[in-house]
Structure 1
Amino acid sequence: MSGHIDEVDLKLLEELRENARENIASLSKKLKIPRTTVHYRIKKLVDEGVIEKFTIKPNYKKLDLGTTAFILARYDPDSGINQREVARRVAALDGVYEVHIITGEWDLLIKVRARNSEEIGKIVIDRLREIKGISQTVTMVSFVSVKEEI
C-alpha cells in the first residue's frame, strides 16, 4: 500500500463498517474533521484498495434464508483435481456464502444459508458432495449469530 493508515483512517473505516451509507457531513461531525478531509480520506482508501467496495447487510430471515450452517469438508488429493479448483466449484454453488481453505484435520470451511435445515441438507447431499474432490463433510447448523461481519 502506498499511503499510511492512521488513527483517523481507522476510525473512518469503523464508522463505514457500521453504516456505509452514512453521509460525509455526519462522518465529519462524528470524527471532528472537515467534510473535505472525510471525502479525501474515503477516496484515498478506495484508490489504495483498503476499501474494496461499499455493500449492504441483508436481513436473511426476511429473505427466507434464516438458517445458516457451517460445513467442514475434506479434500481428496487422489481426485485428480486441484484443491483451489475444488474450492472455486464449491463457491459457485447457490446458497454458499463463504469458502475458506483452512489448516488442520479439515480442508475447507464453507458457510451456507437456506430456508431451513432440510434445504441445507439438499445443498450438502445433492450438490456439495457431488463435487469431484470432496471426500467427506460435517455440517453444523447455527442456532443464532451473535456477531457477524459483512
Structure 2
Amino acid sequence: MAAELDKTDFKILRLLQENGRITNLLLSQEIGLSPAPTLERVRKLEMSGFIKSYHALVDEEKLGLGIKTFIQVQLDFHKNNTIQIFLDEVNLIKEITECHHVTGQADFLLKVYVNDIKAYERLIMDKISKISVVKTFQTMMIMSTTKKEPIVPLEY
C-alpha cells in the first residue's frame, strides 16, 4: 500500500505527525505546492486511511494518572470465541488504553493508566480478574519512560 505514496505524500505525513495543527498554507509552503493541491493530497491521505485521525498528546501525570503498567494476559482457550469474549470485555475498560495480540507466553499485552495503587487494585479485582476467559496475568509496573514517540517511522 505504501507504493501508492510518493515523496511528497511521505513529507506531508511526516509534517502532520510532527504538528497535526499545521495550517494548510504553511504545509503547502513546506512541501513546495500551492494550498489547493496540498489540501487535496491531505484529503486523499485521510480518505485512503493513511491518516486515521488527529489528536492532542496530553500529559498523563498532570492529569493525576501516576500509575502506568503493562499487563501480560494469558487466555483460557478451552472456551468458544475466547479472543472475542476477551476483546469485548477489554473494550469496556477505560483504564486500558492499548491492547496488543502478541506472541510468546502471553496472548495479549495491555497498557493501563490509573490514578493510584488503590485504583489499580480495583481494576484488577473488579474488572481484569472477572473476565471469564482470562487464565493468568502478570503486571509490569512502568517505573519510568525514556522514549515515548507518537510518530510512526516513515524512512527505513
SS of equivalent residue, structure 1 residue 36: helix
Equivalent residue number for residue 110 of structure 2: 110
Identity of aligned residues (%): 26
Equivalent residue number for residue 15 of structure 1: 15
What's the TM-score once normalised by structure 1's chain length? 0.88
* Cα RMSD (Å): 2.1
Equivalent residue number for residue 149 of structure 1: 150
Equivalent residue number for residue 59 of structure 1: 59
Which structure 2 residues correspond to residues 71-86 of structure 1 after superposition, within 5 A? 71-86=71-86
Q: List gaps (5 residues or longer) in structure 2.
A: 152-156
Give yes or no for contact 1:69–1:142 (8 Å, CA) kept in 2: yes
Equivalent residue number for residue 46 of structure 2: 46
Aligned pair count reads 150
- Residue 73 of structure 1 aligns with an amino acid whose one-letter code is V
Residues 15 and 117 of structure 1, relative CA distance in 2, 3 Å threshold: farther
Give yes or no for contact 2:75–2:82 (8 Å, CA) kept in 1: no
SS of equivalent residue, structure 1 residue 51: coil
Instruction: Quote the Cα distance in structure 1 between the aligned partners of 2:68 and 2:29.
Output: 37
SS of equivalent residue, structure 1 residue 78: coil
Instruction: Quote the Cα distance in structure 2 between the aligned partners of 1:33 and 1:67.
Output: 45
Please identify, of 46-55 and 134-143, the stretch whose mean Cα deviation from structure 2 is larger.
46-55
Equivalent residue number for residue 88 of structure 2: 88
Instruction: Quote the Cα distance in structure 2 between the aligned partners of 1:26 and 1:143.
Output: 39
Instruction: Quote the Cα distance in structure 2 between the aligned partners of 1:67 and 1:21.
Output: 30
CA offset digits 1:39-95 (Å, max 9, x no partner)? 111011111121122222122122222322110000001244421221221121121
